[in-house]
Structure 1
Amino acid sequence: MNLHAMPHTFKYLRTAAIAALSLAAASCNSNPATPLEQAPLYGATIGGPFELTNSAGETVRWSDFAGQYRIVYFGFTYCPDICPTDVQRMSQGLRQFEQESPELGAQIQPIFITIDPERDNPQVVGDFVDNFHPRLIGLTGTPEQVKSAAKTFAVTYSKGEVPESGNYLMNHSAITYLFGPDGQPIATLPTDLGAEAVAEELAKWVR
């Protein structure tokens, strides 16, 4: 055995061990993005062109958000429970993600689209979204425009029975979609599991 060579051998092994530990630590501390090809809605034909109106009365198109991630939720402002709960959790989850990853969070545009244009005019929609997130956009339109947009986003809805009070409800599918910068669907956000689950889902796909 060459005893003179041993210190060099130990030095080499020690350096290699440190490098290996550093690599392992880096792997543990990082959160590698999941390939988009593995996204639940990858390749689905959901979402696409629409022409609606924002709270300022301006025309808004799907193409206006090109290059941004988009969170899209269809609901109605007179909803007593599900819609405000979903939008609140969606907004809280986005806020949490923004705190953890400010630059990535800034790339996400949250959008609320009414399925009750009969009552949800631009001002009503604007007042509603102001309660949740400073960048949340509220959109409405003519019944035909809303119907077309809902169909494009695979959202179903119908008007409930109208009581004497006139305060009817809307039946609708409650889905919170996440779309990529190219407008392609990525996943649904688990608002039913709370804000933290929403933030975790955003962290999987927004990069």
Structure 2
Amino acid sequence: MHFTCFTTGSEHVRWIDLISRLCRLEAGKMLGLRCAAGDLCGGGRLHRGLHHMQKVFVSSQSRPVSLFAPLPAAPRPRPPLQTQGCFFSRGQGSSGSSAKLKLRTRLLVTVLFGGGLMATWWFVHLEKQQKLRQQRVEQLQKVALGQGNFSLLDHRGKHRTKQDFLGSWVLLYFGFTHCPDICPDELEKLSAVVSTLDQDTSLPQIQPLFITVDPERDDVPALAQYVKDFHPRIIGLTGTSEEVTNAGRDYRVYARAGPKDEDGDYIVDHTTLIYLISPDGLFLDYYNRAKTQEQITENVRKHIKTYVRL
């Protein structure tokens, strides 16, 4: 006795889906699934095949699974986040590299441009200095003043020449110790100028010098006593009549002794100028009695600031 099991088309499709699901979930149980599928092919053995398949499936799981549960929805594909991240990262890196390259290029152009400006300025500066030197040499050649040398004794008895004062700014005055008023006044003015300029630490020290035009009376002791009343750095110079005359001639100094009185005293008529000597030992400027202390100070300061050594 036998019976035939009839299934509709939809049920048959459902069973096929279940079989496919079991095949995917239990790839390791392929042999059992194939046997169950063979039982399904026989119409009367459908329930036995399903029963056998359920036993196989349940025995391999830790918890029972319903054969008639709805199939899970297929997972949606995720966007390739990591790939996109890498793409954006590569784009940002490329942009950063381009920005760095542009910055380096700008810096290089700035440095080259600045270097060119500095080189141009330095060239113009050197050319200007050369012109100033040439102009000063031409002026000194025309004047021919203070270009000689001297060899004298200072107020301490030390031998001095013009070379001893090279490299220093010098304010020089010719006079004599028995001068009643003009020489002391001019030496006080000279000392005040030097003291004022000493207060400006940006300026070099100025050396004050006093050369006598009366060597007969102004010996070393007389000079030592006389210069005490003026600037502490002042140096008095004397020598023989010939040495003193030669020193004055280089600066076109006029000096002539007047007649002696009953006591043998006399006045020396002489040039009353203060001379400014540059560090290269050449005459630079002069100041007569009409120049005030302030005027001389500012003029000397200007010469020092604009001085270009030969």
Task: Say whether 1:86 aligns with 2:180.
Answer: no
Match in the other structure for 2:214? 116
Supply the distance in 1 between the matched residues of 2:133 and 2:268 (Cα, whole angstroms): 34
Q: Distance in 2 between matches of 1:36 and 1:166?
A: 50
> Larger Rg: 1 or 2?
2
Letter in 1 for 2:218: D
Which segments of 5 or more consecutive residues in structure 2 lack a partner in the other structure?
A: 1-131, 306-310
> How big is the shift at 1:87?
0.7
Number of residue pairs aligned between Structure 1 and Structure 2 = 170
- Mapped partners of 1:84, 1:194: distance in 2: 15
> Greater share of helix residues, 1 or 2?
2
User: Residues 94 and 65 of structure 1: is their aligned pair in 2 closer, same or farther, counting only changes over 3 Å?
Assistant: same
The alignment's TM-score, normalised by the length of structure 2, stands at: 0.52
Q: Output the amino acid matched with 1:155.
A: V
Where relative contact order (Cα < 8 A, 6+ residues apart) is larger, the structure is 1
1:124-171 Cα offsets, whole Å, 9 max, x none, are 112211211011100000111001111111101011010111110001
Query: Is 1:104 aligned with 2:206?
Result: no
What root-mean-square deviation, in Å, do the aligned CA atoms of Structure 1 and Structure 2 show?
Answer: 1.9
- Tell me the amino acid that sits aligned with residue 182 of structure 2: I
Deviation, structure 1 residue 193: 2.9
Which whole-Å CA distance do the structure 1 matches of 2:174 and 2:275 have between them?
9
Equivalent-residue separation in structure 2 for 1:193 and 1:36 (angstroms): 27
Question: Is this contact kept in 1: 2:272–2:288, CA < 8 A?
Answer: no
Could you say which residue in structure 1 is the equivalent of 2:144? 45
Task: Encode CA deviations 1:13-61: one digit per residue, 9 max, x unaligned.
Answer: xxxxxxxxxxxxxxxxxxxxxx67888x941311120000011111100
CA distance in 1, matches of 2:297, 2:288: 9
Q: How many angstroms apart in 2 are the aligned matches of 1:169 and 1:206?
A: 36
Q: 2:159 aligns with which of 59, 74, 95?
A: 59
* Percentage of pairs with the same residue: 36
Contact 1:93–1:195, Cα closer than 8 Å, also in 2: yes
User: Within 5 A, what are the aligned runs for 1:1-207?
Assistant: 42-43=139-140, 44-47=143-146, 48-99=148-199, 101-106=200-205, 108-207=206-305
Unmatched 5+ stretches in structure 1: 1-34
Partners of 2:202 and 2:139 in 1: CA distance: 24
Higher-strand-fraction structure: 1
> In structure 1, how many angstroms separate the alpha carbons of the residues matched to 2:134 and 2:298?
18
Contact residue 177 and residue 189 of structure 1 kept, 8 A: yes
